[in-house]
A and B are shown apart, each in its own frame.
Chain A
Amino acid sequence: MIATILDDLPLRERIALAVLLAFLVALPSVASDYWLSVVLIILYFAYVGQAWNLMMGIAGQLSLGHALYVGLGAYTAAALYVHFQLPPAIGLFVSMLIAAGAATVIGLLAFRFGIGGVYFALLTIAFAEFTRLAFSHFEWVGAMAGFFLPVENRAESDLINLRGSPVMFYYVILTLGVAAAVLVRLLAASRLGYYWLAIREDQEAAQASGVNTFAYKMIAVTISAAMTALGGVFLAFYYNNLFPSDIFGIHRSIEIILAPIIGGLGTFFGPVFGAFVLGLLGEGLTSAVEQTGIQTAGVKQLVYALVLLVIIKFVPGGLWPRVARSMGLGRRRDEP
């Protein structure tokens, strides 16, 4: 399996990957708590970005409601833990199953009736929004007042119950991020990956080439939803509190898609790169605004938005393909 992943990877890329990985593994022993938390969130966005990228970047199905799967994953594992003392190590499977179930319903509705493109995207937003409203009235998980996990002594790491120090959470999300990247790369190199690309490029031509587009789109949305739900489980146990208006909010869905778009849609490393660029940009702006002493609310967001506009306008294919070229890293099959 490892051989398959590394097979067509030139030496320079292997070295670059190894250096990055070594840096990330060593980070907790050198970075401050603050920077650790910054990189942790970056890795979270790299992870969910990868999940979304699989569906949009590779299979070409635009979802603007991925917060739905984050929220379902988060609430499911958290509720099972609080109400039934079921450890998240088991609860995460229920989370993934429920999210995949929700994706199946959306997929069946959309793909059976030939709803695609922006109309499909609207459907995903609608589902996320009415789930947000439903959870706002769902007393069992706290409704609008929020749902809280007991904050426990974090001295020792308990992976089964996802209780422990920020360093433990950091390594959990790093593992998830690496696993997601490996999974997406393996899938992209398989028949499934080729068929997803065919669907993204031209559905009619894909069908004529023997691709059951309905089935393969369903596979893409369910895998993406299950992966995203796992990110939600992580989020719930890291933050220990959940609010429907926050976790299901459309701003959350947008956040998820920014990293892959800025990094490079459909590329294997784009979501990771995009997450780092955006995470560091956000942090950099915060401290820059603090230093100038400007008190006006929204200055940071305004500059952030301008930077995004500039990137999307001038580097529409995303930053990663261009950076990869300038670093002499070869173009891969999934980076057209």
Chain B
Amino acid sequence: MTAALLSVTNLAKSFRGLHAVQDVSLDVAEGSITALIGPNGAGKTTIFNMIAGVFAPSAGDITMAGSSIRGYRPDQVCKAGIGRTFQIVRPFPALTVLDNVVIGALAHDNSVARARARARDVLKLLGLDGLRGQIASSLTLPDRKRLEVARALATGPKLLLLDEVMAGLRPGETDEMVGVFQTLNRESGLTILLIEHVMRAVMALSQTIHVLNHGRLIASGAPADVVRDPQVLEVYLGEEEAV
């Protein structure tokens, strides 16, 4: 078992008495691809937002590479090596595709020239280099999703948080995206934590799956085991989808 890059312990969040997340503990091993699945409203995005520094946890701790990042602002979390995408894509609409990614690349480099070079590399990786001069708001949804990933990758993260980047993609596009993440994971050792509903992508990518329901973890383990877990089948996957 490799060491945990990200470690979440007894994490909880309530909004005015509503317990969105309760007592969630999970580890993301360095170099792994881990998925967080569960029905809508289970608290997946809330956990992401706590890791990313958008909300402060009501209780519990989050450590990245051994040091606590609890209470960090989003930009500090980014500097600590965690890149994220948003569930509803948020490109910088009036800027070009290249400039969008340059902004991400500037997180670890003061030089605009070097950041542009790095941004080009990331764009090539995601097949967006041909669109680099286009204004982000003119892109199609799949391209915007890719741009969202490109910007997060450009910040040079050790851990990438992907919030439903496959939603709305066609199966072929999903496979393409899966390929990109597998390559990144294999070649640069990028650790990935993803929230995903597209089971095709979850099964292809992840080594570990955590299942969340009503703010609590109900199952954790290898994909093959988790999808056979009766509780998981009942609350999320549904009997008829049983593999």
Once A194-B103, A336-B135 are accepted as A-B contacts, the answer to whether A201 and B94 lie under 8 Å apart by CB is: yes
Whether A195 contacts B52 by the Cβ 8 Å rule is no
Whether B151 contacts A191 by the Cβ 8 Å rule is no
Residues on B with beta carbons closer than 8 Å to the beta carbon of A195: 103, 106
* Chain A residue nearest in CB terms to B85: A208
Once A189-B112, A209-B107, A210-B107 are accepted as A-B contacts, the answer to whether A204 and B74 lie under 8 Å apart by CB is: yes
Whether A208 contacts B86 by the Cβ 8 Å rule is yes
Whether B75 contacts A212 by the Cβ 8 Å rule is yes
- A286-336: which have CB < 8 Å to B? 333, 336
B84 at the interface (CB under 8 A from A): yes
B124 at the interface (CB under 8 A from A): no
Whether B74 contacts A191 by the Cβ 8 Å rule is no
Residue interface bits A194-219, CB-to-B below 8 A is 1, else 0: 11011001101111111111000000
Per the bound structure, the CA–CA distance linking A202 and B155 in Å amounts to 17
B92 at the interface (CB under 8 A from A): yes
B78 at the interface (CB under 8 A from A): yes
Count, chain B residues at interface, CB 8 A: 33
Whether A202 contacts B112 by the Cβ 8 Å rule is no
Interface bracket on A? 20 to 34
Whether B74 contacts A333 by the Cβ 8 Å rule is no
Whether B99 contacts A209 by the Cβ 8 Å rule is no
Whether A207 contacts B112 by the Cβ 8 Å rule is no
A190 at the interface (CB under 8 A from B): yes
B73 at the interface (CB under 8 A from A): yes
B118 CB, nearest partner CB in chain A, Å: 13
Whether B99 contacts A197 by the Cβ 8 Å rule is yes
Once A191-B112, A333-B96 are accepted as A-B contacts, the answer to whether A208 and B102 lie under 8 Å apart by CB is: no
Of A189, A197, A210, A333, which contacts B104 at CB under 8 A?
A210
Of B53, B92, B111, which contacts A205 at CB under 8 A?
B92
* Chain A residue nearest in CB terms to B148: A205
Per the bound structure, the CA–CA distance linking A189 and B112 in Å amounts to 8
- A156-215: which have CB < 8 Å to B? 189-191, 194-195, 197-198, 201-202, 204-213
A166 CB, nearest partner CB in chain B, Å: 41
* Chain A residue nearest in CB terms to B161: A208
Whether B75 contacts A211 by the Cβ 8 Å rule is yes
Of B75, B90, B92, which contacts A210 at CB under 8 A?
B75
B75 CB, nearest partner CB in chain A, Å: 5
Once A205-B92, A207-B73 are accepted as A-B contacts, the answer to whether A190 and B103 lie under 8 Å apart by CB is: no
Whether B112 contacts A213 by the Cβ 8 Å rule is no
Residues on B with beta carbons closer than 8 Å to the beta carbon of A197: 92, 95, 99, 103
B200 at the interface (CB under 8 A from A): no
Per the bound structure, the CA–CA distance linking A336 and B100 in Å amounts to 13
Residues on A with beta carbons closer than 8 Å to the beta carbon of B111: 191
Residues on A with beta carbons closer than 8 Å to the beta carbon of B79: 210
B157 CB, nearest partner CB in chain A, Å: 10
Per the bound structure, the CA–CA distance linking A189 and B99 in Å amounts to 11
Once A194-B99, A194-B103, A197-B99 are accepted as A-B contacts, the answer to whether A207 and B74 lie under 8 Å apart by CB is: yes
Whether B106 contacts A210 by the Cβ 8 Å rule is yes
Per the bound structure, the CA–CA distance linking A232 and B21 in Å amounts to 54
Residues on B with beta carbons closer than 8 Å to the beta carbon of A209: 75, 78, 103-104, 107, 151-152, 155
B93 at the interface (CB under 8 A from A): yes
Residues on B with beta carbons closer than 8 Å to the beta carbon of A211: 75, 103
Whether A202 contacts B92 by the Cβ 8 Å rule is yes
Per the bound structure, the CA–CA distance linking A202 and B135 in Å amounts to 15
* Chain B residue nearest in CB terms to A194: B103
Considering the complex of A and B, which 4 residue pairs feature the smallest CB-CB distances, nearest first?
A210-B107, A201-B92, A210-B78, A207-B74
Identify 10 residue pairs between A and B in the complex whose beta-carbon atoms are under 8 Å apart, listed by A's number: A194-B115, A198-B103, A204-B86, A207-B73, A207-B74, A208-B52, A209-B152, A211-B103, A213-B75, A333-B99
Beyond A195-B106, A209-B151, list 5 extra A-B contacts (CB 8 Å). Answer: A202-B91, A207-B74, A210-B79, A211-B75, A333-B99
